[in-house]
């Protein structure tokens, strides 16, 4: 698993993930904090329990207990999802369509947050009624374990971004990688919960006025990002980065500017340098029906560009951080043949000609 991917997952949790999780689960934490703010103590004079204000350290402990439960259960879930992914082999094109669907789903969440139309309420997943009652009863408990248990229950109330991350965990096909992905994501959401755990009174109320707009903008950007990467992963050349490249450098449309390949010993031998920011060259001309020997060179590469794919040919290869990797194939169809990283972030294409 490339380090950059885990960092990206963490940053997703830190930004959009934290906001959307707070929208669904923040009320649970708020209820348990407000309940813990009053600790019954026995009055020596009356012999009765009297509620008194709790000290701030106890509130901090409540928040930590909640977040530990949330982190633990989602890490375990990631492990199980990764194990499930071992039995499911997704092609690059299938993963690309998954990302596109995730992006569309996030757009639906945006529509619901902004109350654009009643239709968008169907994009929101609500917990079963029996679970809602169970969570409500647990939130009234003053035990320090109550917020921990409440944190465990959040696995049944996933936000849209959490669901998208769970699909990524499945696609790894590895229990440890799946656990690492969910751990990184939930860890990223934790600062948001910590921050607003101390601002659940006046500060949170002021923020709630602007929360739908802030969360909607962040989710909209993430939706476009997911859809664009999905398009690249399906093998399409119609991505934002390609449109930008053509707008800034229109000469890339000319095949004469592509890197021409020399045939050696019956193979079209080409070299692509893989960096943390993509592939060089990005456009290469190949001849149809002549075998290709593709040499991918990496030097201390840790980004998702290490996971190289040619979606139309169902070729997937995890490159070493440093070294040369040889891939052989024979182009059979004329026109563009796209290649990309496994996330669809970094793309390029072969122009197949006669």
> What confidence tens digit (pLDDT) does each residue in 230-271 have?
888 888 878 888 788 778 877 665 544 455 667 888 899 999
* CA 100 – CA 4 distance, rounded (Å): 21
Q: What is the pLDDT of residue 1?
A: 45
Task: Using the structure block, give the residue that is written with the tokens 């194990």.
Answer: 83
Low-confidence ranges of the chain (pLDDT < 50): 1-4, 38-44, 49-57, 201-202, 255-257
Q: Are 227 and 344 in contact, with CB atoms under 8 Å apart?
A: no
What pLDDT is recorded for position 166?
Answer: 82
Phi-psi group of 47: left, alpha or beta (phi > 0 → left; psi -120 to 50 → alpha; rest → beta): left
Burial readout 109-144 (b: 16 or more C-beta within 10 A, e: otherwise): bbbbbeeeeeebeebeeebeeeeeebbeebbeeeee
pLDDT value of residue 237:
78
Which CATH number fits the domain 240-353, given the four candidates 2.40.10.480, 2.60.40.420, 3.20.20.70, 1.10.3720.10? 2.60.40.420
**DSSP code of residue 15:** I
- Alpha-helical (H) ranges within the chain are 3-12, 18-36, 56-85, 92-113, 129-139, 145-153, 160-172, 175-197, 202-208, 211-233, 240-248
d(Cα 98, Cα 230) in Å, to the nearest integer? 7
Query: How far is residue 294's CA from residue 70's CA, in Å, rounded to a whole number?
Result: 45
Q: How far apart are alpha carbons 325 and 319 in whole angstroms?
A: 7
Task: Break the chain into its structural domains and give their ranges.
Answer: 3-233, 240-353
């Amino acid at each position: 698993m490339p380090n950059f991917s885990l960092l990206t997952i963490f940053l997703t949790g830190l930004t959009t993930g934290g906001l959307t999780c707070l929208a669904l689960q923040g009320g649970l934490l708020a209820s348990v904090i407000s309940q813990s703010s009053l600790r019954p103590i026995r009055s020596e004079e009356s012999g009765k329990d009297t509620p008194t204000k709790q000290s701030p350290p106890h509130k901090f402990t409540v928040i930590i207990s909640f977040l530990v439960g949330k982190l633990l259960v989602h890490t375990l879930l990631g492990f199980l999802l990764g194990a499930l992914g071992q039995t499911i082999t997704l092609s690059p094109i299938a993963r690309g369509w998954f990302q596109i669907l995730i992006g569309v789903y996030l757009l639906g969440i945006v529509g619901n947050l902004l109350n654009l139309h009643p239709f968008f309420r169907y994009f929101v997943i609500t917990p079963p009624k029996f679970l809602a009652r169970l969570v409500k009863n647990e939130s009234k408990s003053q035990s320090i374990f109550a917020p921990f248990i409440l944190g465990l229950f959040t696995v049944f109330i996933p936000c849209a971004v959490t669901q998208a991350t769970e699909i990524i965990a499945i696609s790894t096909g590895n229990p440890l990688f799946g656990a690492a992905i969910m751990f990184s994501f939930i860890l990223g959401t934790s600062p948001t919960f910590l921050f607003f755990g101390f601002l659940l009174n006046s500060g949170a109320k002021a923020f709630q006025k602007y929360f739908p707009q802030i969360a909607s903008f962040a989710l909209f950007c993430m939706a476009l990002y997911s859809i664009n990467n999905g398009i690249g992963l399906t093998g399409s050349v119609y991505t934002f980065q390609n449109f930008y490249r053509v707008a800034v450098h229109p000469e890339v449309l000319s095949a004469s500017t592509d890197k021409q390949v020399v045939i050696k010993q019956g193979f079209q031998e080409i070299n692509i340098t893989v960096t943390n920011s993509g592939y060089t060259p990005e456009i290469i001309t190949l001849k149809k029906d002549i075998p290709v020997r593709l040499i991918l060179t990496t030097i201390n590469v840790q980004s998702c560009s290490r996971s190289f794919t040619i979606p139309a040919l169902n070729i997937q290869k995890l490159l070493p951080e440093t070294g040369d990797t040889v891939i052989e194939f024979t182009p059979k169809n004329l026109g563009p043949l796209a290649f990309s990283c496994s996330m669809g972030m970094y793309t390029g294409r072969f122009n197949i000609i006669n």
